[in-house]
Chain A
């Protein structure tokens, strides 16, 4: 039998909490996160202060008297020109743009990606290449042609027009995302389904869709943040009545008449950034998993 009183270490490895490597590692992390979190902190505390307190100039100090008045004002009372309805209208406009754009673009792109990876047809590679080139052309070059197109089909200034633009511009990257994901699905699975008599849509809905949930989450996050944060298309293809939240925010923050209400501006900015932030926090884990799942093969 082996002697149990052997020489050398036994039991758990001793931990060195304050080793040089740890101090360096955590030190760097703390400094970097401070760098990014400080502006957020300033925004939050400023949005909770009243104007007299802000004028005192203590930017980093916590509010002596917490007030939610700036938030209320940013939401429903802030003025852009003569219109004093705050961000709320922009918020609902953004929601009306966001939901159809995300649903439509993902629905189409996922079918695109599915067809391009599994139902290859003559010229499908060429088609895919052309689509991908779209991802490398700067948006700015296409702004005016799209204005003409929207004018001709009568959607200029309409929310529907913006939905169309977002759907089209999401297509290249989303198709690439879905194609690569479906290309990583074992081909034999697809063959088995065909032997089992399933057609194009049956395989898509019954076999592929349930397997592709992680990549759908990735696509949703990309689209929600992208479309919600969009300013350029929003300001060009809509009119004041249909301005999305980002454009409304810009107008509030940049209005020049009267005094600059820093607290209201901060509150308005935080309100606008809330939707993407919530999406990130709610689906952070799935997001990472989906990105990795799509990236391994393809």
Chain B
């Protein structure tokens, strides 16, 4: 199996501050990989290292099997799209698109051809003679993508490209990006802090924290089988319900409640009893008719109801613990009521309390 991008034992330090430490990452040919994490987790830094805009302290970077650790950004076969678009303000759209090609001494006819192709793909043909100042945010970002597109690169790097756009435009451009990836089949590495973007776009997601990759997996794995408490908490909105208790002989005990974990897919056979945390997604809690078929049934006291149109978010008390439940938008629950809920342990996640790793 050949990888498009290989990162081996990458270290990056700014003076005494270690930003990235011993990071390994392999990205497949044509894969859409999302680096996801909150601000300061090192995701943009990693992207800049791949681009060659930051000099790494130690380690190796391969692109298409070639060691590019010390290569100039322009020699790596990458194109990059920035959050602030970073279009050259004094050049026309056409000038922006062709700047990199002129630097690479591509013949004029070839430049014309590639610019025309990119303009067609991104539907920015009518804008070619305008300056960036006369474009809207969405158009600017399209031009920025075009600038990577014309260079015919192996790997596209996106640094939070949609963060500066308004909500509606962001959704539109997200869909377009996905379509573009389907069409071009290039390797794409995409940095974002928005988990919806990550879930919708990615073939695989790397959840990062503190300069390390917490979990690397498909969106489905990340969502359903988070490897540790951090990932479980970070992914999902509203976030997971966590209850602290004990795992004893295959059952999870919290206060005086006992939840037999029948059907739960343990990562390793559990022999010893230990303090643990159970995570239950608000959308995996069932109510109404479905409760009858649920393996575990509880009564909760409704505290607060947030109708969101498509869904209704219910804040309730399960014993002493805050418990969020995501219900249908048509649900007619009121604060103060008692609600029957059902939980399926096979869809829950169990974590060791000490190591915070998945059990």
Q: CB within 8 Å of B: which residues of A?
A: 186, 188-189, 191-198, 202, 206-207, 210-211
Contacts and interface: CB of A to CB of B under 8 A. Distances in A.
B86 A191 contact: yes
B100 interface: yes
A211 B80 contact: no
B80 A191 contact: yes
A73 B53 CA distance: 64
Interface string B283-324: 000000000000000000000000000000000000000000
Contacts of A191: 48, 51, 53, 73, 80, 82, 86
A196 to B, nearest CB: 3
B55 to A, nearest CB: 11
Given A191-B53, A195-B79, A196-B147, A186 B103 contact: no
A188 B73 CA distance: 13
Contacts of B151: 196
A196 B99 contact: yes
Interface of B: 48, 51-53, 72-75, 78-80, 82-90, 99-100, 103-104, 144, 147, 151, 159
A197 B90 contact: no
Given A197-B74, A197-B104, A192 B89 contact: no
A195 B80 contact: yes
Nearest to A194: B73
Contacts of B89: 211
Nearest to B81: A192
27 contacts: A188-B82, A188-B84, A188-B85, A191-B48, A191-B51, A191-B53, A191-B80, A191-B82, A192-B144, A192-B147, A194-B72, A194-B73, A194-B74, A195-B51, A195-B53, A195-B73, A195-B74, A195-B79, A196-B74, A196-B100, A196-B103, A197-B73, A197-B74, A197-B100, A197-B104, A198-B74, A198-B99
Contacts of B144: 192
Contacts of B74: 194-198
Question: Which of B51, B52, B74, B151 neighbours the largest number of chain A CB atoms within 10 Å of its CB?
Answer: B74
B78 A195 contact: yes
A175 B245 CA distance: 63
Nearest to B82: A188
A186 B86 contact: yes
Contacts of B75: 197
A195 B77 CA distance: 9
B86 A188 contact: yes
B80 A192 contact: yes
Given A191-B86, A211-B90, 4 more contacts: A188-B84, A194-B52, A195-B100, A206-B88
Contacts of B104: 197
B72 to A, nearest CB: 8
Given A194-B53, A195-B73, A195-B79, A189 B86 contact: yes
B90 A192 contact: no
A118 to B, nearest CB: 12
Given A197-B100, A202-B103, A188 B83 contact: yes
A192 B144 CA distance: 9
A191 B72 CA distance: 12
A189 B53 CA distance: 12
Listed from nearest, the 8 A-B pairs whose CB atoms lie closest are A197-B74, A196-B100, A188-B86, A197-B103, A192-B86, A188-B82, A210-B90, A195-B73
Nearest to B76: A195
B110 to A, nearest CB: 15
B52 to A, nearest CB: 8
A194 B74 CA distance: 7
A206 B95 CA distance: 11
A191 B73 CA distance: 9
Contact of A193 (B88, B90, B159): B88
A188 B160 CA distance: 12
A195 B53 CA distance: 8
A45 B99 CA distance: 59
Nearest to B88: A207
Contacts of A193: 88, 99
Contact of A186 (B78, B80, B84): B84
Contacts of A206: 88, 99
A191 B82 CA distance: 9
A72 to B, nearest CB: 47
A239 B52 CA distance: 55
A210 B104 CA distance: 21
A279 to B, nearest CB: 25
Nearest to A191: B53
A200 to B, nearest CB: 12
A186 B51 CA distance: 18
Nearest to B75: A197
A188 B85 CA distance: 8
A216 to B, nearest CB: 14
B88 A189 contact: yes
Nearest to B105: A197
Question: Which of B88, B90, B151 neighbours the largest number of chain A CB atoms within 10 Å of its CB?
Answer: B88
B74 to A, nearest CB: 3
B16 to A, nearest CB: 15
Contacts of B87: 192
Contacts of A196: 74, 99-100, 103, 147, 151
A206 B87 CA distance: 13
B106 to A, nearest CB: 10
Contacts of B79: 195
Contacts of B100: 195-197
A186 B144 CA distance: 15
Nearest to B151: A196
A211 B48 CA distance: 25
Contacts of A198: 74, 99, 103
Contacts of B52: 194
Contacts of A211: 89-90
A288 to B, nearest CB: 21
A126 to B, nearest CB: 15
A10 B213 CA distance: 65
